[in-house]
Amino acid sequence: LSGMTTEVMGRHVYYYDCLGSTNDQARMLAEQGAPDGSLVVAETQNTGKGRMGRVFFSPEGSGIWMSLILKPDIPPMDASMITLLGAMAVQEMMESFGLESGIKWPNDLVIDHRKTTGILTEMSAGPDVVNYIVIGIGINVNMKEFPEELRETAISMAMASGQTYHRAEIIRRVMQYFETNYRQFLKDGNLAFLKKKYDASLIHLNKEISIHEIRRVWRGVSRGINDIGELIVSVDGEETTVRSGEVSIRGV
């Protein structure tokens, strides 16, 4: 990973052939004092973690399985905004290669309704301060096909474009886009600066979606994000907001 053009993000890289989960390793390294912007990368993960306790398919050689350690001086309440920055950085990277991908709020990236990238953010925090945040990013890059059970729901960048990608260059670009947006976010304390671009990437902007909470499923029309990254949903003409982490949206 030479030639990194960032100042902080990915300047320290911890590289492994095989890990259980880059998120778990990143949390351990963060506890041990790894600096802000450290990046953990593995060629393959035995137990890649997805959301809702699912296993994330992370085969050797064809994807990017990485976790970024951040130590921002922000209240824990603000951490969910960083997840959206992760999705935006990957979207911008793909765009820079001429690939149009869309975001499913808060942080899934899809092409033709199939997932190209999953993001899992984990945080260690006290009541008022963040100790560290780990953003785990799994990008399907060069796979030519997926196992049967994922065929309908997953897609790689290579399958979408017919090209093969240099993974180190992808990591460099994601780090660069992330750093630029992250700096602005730390300066402003919100995502107002990114709202327009983020909304333009949403696959469900102004579409009817269903919102799945633990005990309740409801429907509404998604209107894009507000300044703090919550999704605005209108129900019978009334607007309400949903926070990431509490819900999953379907029907798109």
Does 35 sit behind a cis peptide bond, omega within 30 degrees of 0 on the bond before it? no
Taking the complex as a whole, how short is the minimal distance between the CB of residue 140 and ligand BTN, in angstroms? 10
- Taking the C-alpha atoms of residue 130 and residue 54, their distance in angstroms, rounded to an integer, is 26
Contact 13, 175 (CB under 8 A): no
- Taking the C-alpha atoms of residue 95 and residue 91, their distance in angstroms, rounded to an integer, is 6
* Site map 53..72 versus ligand BTN, x via CB under 6 A: -x-x-x------xxx-----
- Taking the C-alpha atoms of residue 140 and residue 150, their distance in angstroms, rounded to an integer, is 12
The CA distances from residue 238 to 29, 213, 219, 220, in Å, are 45, 19, 12, 10
Taking the complex as a whole, how short is the minimal distance between the CB of residue 182 and ligand BTN, in angstroms? 18
* Site map 117..156 versus ligand BTN, x via CB under 6 A: -xxx---------------xxx------------------
Taking the complex as a whole, how short is the minimal distance between the CB of residue 249 and ligand BTN, in angstroms? 13
Q: Is 24 left (phi over 0), alpha (psi -120 to 50) or beta?
A: alpha
Of the pair 6, 22, the CB lying nearest ligand BTN is at: 22
Question: Does the footprint of ligand BTN cover residue 45 (CB under 6 A)?
Answer: yes
Taking the complex as a whole, how short is the minimal distance between the CB of residue 39 and ligand BTN, in angstroms? 11
Is 22 annotated as a binding-site member? yes
**Which residue in 11, 12, 51, 114 binds ligand BTN (CB under 6 A)?**
51
Question: Does the footprint of ligand BTN cover residue 49 (CB under 6 A)?
Answer: yes
CB under 8 Å to 180, separation ≥6 — which residues? Answer: none
- Taking the C-alpha atoms of residue 121 and residue 245, their distance in angstroms, rounded to an integer, is 10
**Which residue in 23, 101, 142, 201 binds ligand BTN (CB under 6 A)?**
23
Is 184 annotated as a binding-site member? no
Question: Does the footprint of ligand BTN cover residue 50 (CB under 6 A)?
Answer: yes
Is 45 annotated as a binding-site member? yes
Of the pair 23, 223, the CB lying nearest ligand BTN is at: 23
Under rule CB under 6 A, how many of the chain's residues touch ligand BTN? Answer: 20
Taking the complex as a whole, how short is the minimal distance between the CB of residue 22 and ligand BTN, in angstroms? 4
The CA distances from residue 227 to 43, 110, 116, 121, 196, in Å, are 36, 23, 26, 20, 10
**Which residue in 6, 9, 14, 22 binds ligand BTN (CB under 6 A)?**
22
Pair of tokens at residue 145: 């096909």
The two beta strands, 63-70 and 231-235, are unpaired
Q: Binding residues for ligand BTN, per CB under 6 A?
A: 21-23, 45, 48-51, 54, 56, 58, 65-67, 118-120, 136-138
Enumerate the known binding-site residues: 21-23, 45, 115
